[in-house]
Amino acid sequence: MAVIDLDKIRDSADSGNPWGGGKKAGTAGGGGGLPQLPNGIFRIIGLFGLIALGLLIYTGFYTVPSDSIGVVTRFGQYQKDEPSGLHFKIPWGVDDVTIVPVKRQLKQEFGFATPGATNPNQARQNFQVQSQMVTGDLNAALVEWVIQFRIADPKKYLFDVRNPAETLRDLSESVMREVVGDRTVDEVITIGRQEIEDEALIKMQNLTTKYGIGVSIDQVQLKNINPPKPVQESFNEVNQAQQEKESLINAARREYNKVIPLAEGEKDQRIRAADGYRLKRINEAEGDASRFSAVFKEYQKAPEVTRRRIYIETLQEVLPGLDSKIIVDEKSQQVLPLINLTNQKELIK
C-alpha cells in the first residue's frame, strides 16, 4: 500500500514535476505511488465550496413580512404555509415560496386608474371601456367604482383559480353592470348610490364564496358617475333645474313649518277656551238648578214663609236701583199727595 508523503508532494511542486517521483521531468525512475495534486487545485476546490455555501445560504433562507404569509411549494405542489419571520427552504429550485399579503387590504379600480400604483392588478389600461354602462331605462352612464378586498385563503387564491385577480375583476364588473342595469339613470347618478353599493357588495361576496376564489370583499365604493360627454352639458342643466326645484320645495316647506304650527297652536288655544267656557256654563247651570231645587224643597216645607222671603229678597235687589219710590197702602182708597222729593233733592244739590 502506497503512502502519500506531503513533503515529497511539496518538493515535487517546487522542482516543477507535478506528479511527484522525487525527480525532475525527463529523468527515469521515480516512485510508483499515486499521482500528486498541486496546491492550486485545493484552492479552487475551496473557492467553489465557499461559493456553494453562499448560494445555499442565499437561496435557502428567506424572510416573510409581518403582513404576509409564505406559501411553500415543492416541485410545484403545495406543502405548507409559513408565518412571518425567517425560514429555510430547500434551495436550487426544489422549494419555492410565494409571499401572499393576507393582512393587507387590496383594491381594484374600475373606470379609472391611480397614477403610480405599484399593484399591476389594481387597474386595467383600457379602463374607459369598463365605465360605459347602460341603465334600466336604456340611458348611458359612465360609472367608476372601487372594490377593497383581502386574501382570506391563500391556498385557494393560488391554486383553485387560474388567474384570481382577473377573475375577481371580471366578477365585479359583471355584478356592477347587472345592478346598474336594474335602475334608471337618475337613480344611478343621484339617489341610488348607497343602494347600488350595498347590493353589489352582497352579490360579489356570494359569488366569490361560490367560485372559491379565496378572497373576502370588504367594501364596494362608487366614485364618479357621469353621463356620456356628448350629453353631459344638457344633463348638467337638468340637474341644475332639479336643484332649483328642490330649493324652492325646501323654502316652501320652511314657510309651511313656520306658519302651520302657529295656526295649529292658535286653533288648539281656541278649542281649549271653548271647552273651558262650555264647562263653565254647564257648571253654572248645574249650580243654578241645584240652588233652585234646594229653594223649591224649602218652599214645599213652608210655602208662605218662603214666598215672603223671596219677595223681600227680590225687593232688596230691585228697590236700590229706582229713583222714585211710591209706597201705597193696599187699604187706602186714594193716592196720597206726596212732595216731589226728586226736585227737592236737585234743589238741595
Residue 285 confidence (pLDDT)? 92
User: What does the domain layout of the chain look like in residue ranges?
Assistant: 6-57, 63-100, 106-227
Distances (CA, A) of 64 to 72, 87, 153, 203, 212: 11, 8, 17, 34, 25
What one-letter code names the amino acid at 87?
H
Q: How far apart are CA 119 and CA 169, in angstroms?
A: 14
Please choose, from the candidates 181, 175, 169, the residue with its C-alpha nearest in 3D space to the C-alpha of residue 137.
Answer: 181
Contact between residue 161 and residue 167 where contact means Cβ atoms under 8 Å apart = yes
| % of the chain with per-residue pLDDT over 90 | 37
Contact between residue 102 and residue 68 where contact means Cβ atoms under 8 Å apart = yes
Residue 109 confidence (pLDDT)? 93
Residue-wise burial string across 298-337, b where 16 or more C-beta atoms lie within 10 A, e elsewhere: ebeeeeeebeeeeeeeeeeeeeeeeeeeeeeeeeeeeeee
As a whole number, mean pLDDT of residues 248-269 equals: 91
Eight-state DSSP code of residue 319: G
Residue 334 confidence (pLDDT)? 60
Residue 338 confidence (pLDDT)? 53
Residue 239 confidence (pLDDT)? 79
In the predicted structure, residue 248 carries a pLDDT above the cut 70: yes
What one-letter code names the amino acid at 63?
T
* Paired residues of 9 in beta bridges: none
In the predicted structure, residue 64 carries a pLDDT above the cut 80: yes
Please choose, from the candidates 167, 156, 162, 161, the residue with its C-alpha nearest in 3D space to the C-alpha of residue 71.
Answer: 156
Quickly state the pLDDT bin for 92 (edges 50, 70, 90): confident
Residue 325 confidence (pLDDT)? 66
Quickly state the pLDDT bin for 70 (edges 50, 70, 90): very high
In the predicted structure, residue 110 carries a pLDDT above the cut 90: yes
Q: How far apart are CA 6 and CA 258, in angstroms?
A: 116
Over the stretch 142-198, which tens digit does the pLDDT of each residue have?
999 999 999 999 999 999 988 999 999 999 999 999 999 999 988 898 888 999 999
Residue-wise burial string across 135-169, b where 16 or more C-beta atoms lie within 10 A, e elsewhere: beeebebbbbbbbebebebbebbbbebeebbebbb
Over the stretch 279-320, which tens digit does the pLDDT of each residue have?
999 999 999 899 888 878 877 887 888 788 888 888 888 877
Q: How far apart are CA 210 and CA 312, in angstroms?
A: 107
In the chain the first and final C-alpha atoms are separated, in Å, by 181
Quickly state the pLDDT bin for 342 (edges 50, 70, 90): low
CATH class of 106-227: alpha beta
As a whole number, mean pLDDT of residues 85-90 equals: 87
Residue 308 confidence (pLDDT)? 84
3-state secondary structure of 221: strand
Quickly state the pLDDT bin for 1 (edges 50, 70, 90): very low
Residue 326 confidence (pLDDT)? 67
Sequence-ordered list of residues with C-beta below 8 angstroms from that of 180, at least 6 positions apart, any chain:
133, 134, 135, 141, 143, 188, 196
pLDDT, the chain, mean: 81
Quickly state the pLDDT bin for 18 (edges 50, 70, 90): very low
Residue 283 confidence (pLDDT)? 93
Residue 25 confidence (pLDDT)? 42
Residue 216 confidence (pLDDT)? 94
Contact between residue 136 and residue 183 where contact means Cβ atoms under 8 Å apart = yes
In the predicted structure, residue 330 carries a pLDDT above the cut 70: no
Please choose, from the candidates 59, 57, 56, 63, the residue with its C-alpha nearest in 3D space to the C-alpha of residue 82.
Answer: 63
Grid cell listed for 137? 331605462
Stated as kind and residue range, the H or E segment containing 287 is helix 229-301
Over the stretch 20-48, which tens digit does the pLDDT of each residue have?
444 444 444 444 454 555 667 777 877 77
Stated as kind and residue range, the H or E segment containing 81 is strand 77-82
